[in-house]
Amino acid sequence: MVIATAAVRDDGTTKMYIREGYPAVADIKLTNIIIDICEDLGYNYYYGIIRSYDSFYIDKENAIIRYWKNKNILFSDMESSTIFTLANLKRLKQDVYSIQLYNMNPILKME
């Protein structure tokens, strides 16, 4: 399981709502609750920064993945930065987590 604490806003959607410098971050209290539940249940999990993007099958995809992997980004998705940004703008509590049955994402090295 990957628990997002923040997301790189590498998408176009959030730029329509707020300037690029605005952070996409999870609610810390909700994040801590999810982590506590994982620990209580004995689940393996990772937590940290992920990346949201909005493109498939671009020519330089592998280079982009390597770049972000070298910056300690755990995972990539297509919606977390939008959820974080809009929820924070609307003063809503939110977090994002992903359960991976197998590792489709080369950014996250599963053990």
Say if residues 7 and 48 touch (Cβ distance below 8 Å). no
CATH-assigned architecture of domain 2-98: 3-Layer(aba) Sandwich (3.40)
Q: pTM for the complete prediction?
A: 0.85
Phi then psi dihedrals of residue 52, to 5 deg: -110, 135
The residue ranges of DSSP E strands in the chain, in sequence order, are: 2-10, 24-25, 46-53, 76-77, 96-98
Query: C-alpha distances in angstroms, 30 versus 1, 75, 96?
Result: 16, 19, 10
Instruction: Express each pLDDT in 18-61 by its tens digit.
Output: 999 999 999 999 999 999 999 999 999 999 999 999 887 889 98
Instruction: Express each pLDDT in 73-104 by its tens digit.
Output: 998 899 999 999 999 999 998 887 776 544 44
Closest CA to 51 of 31, 35, 68: 68
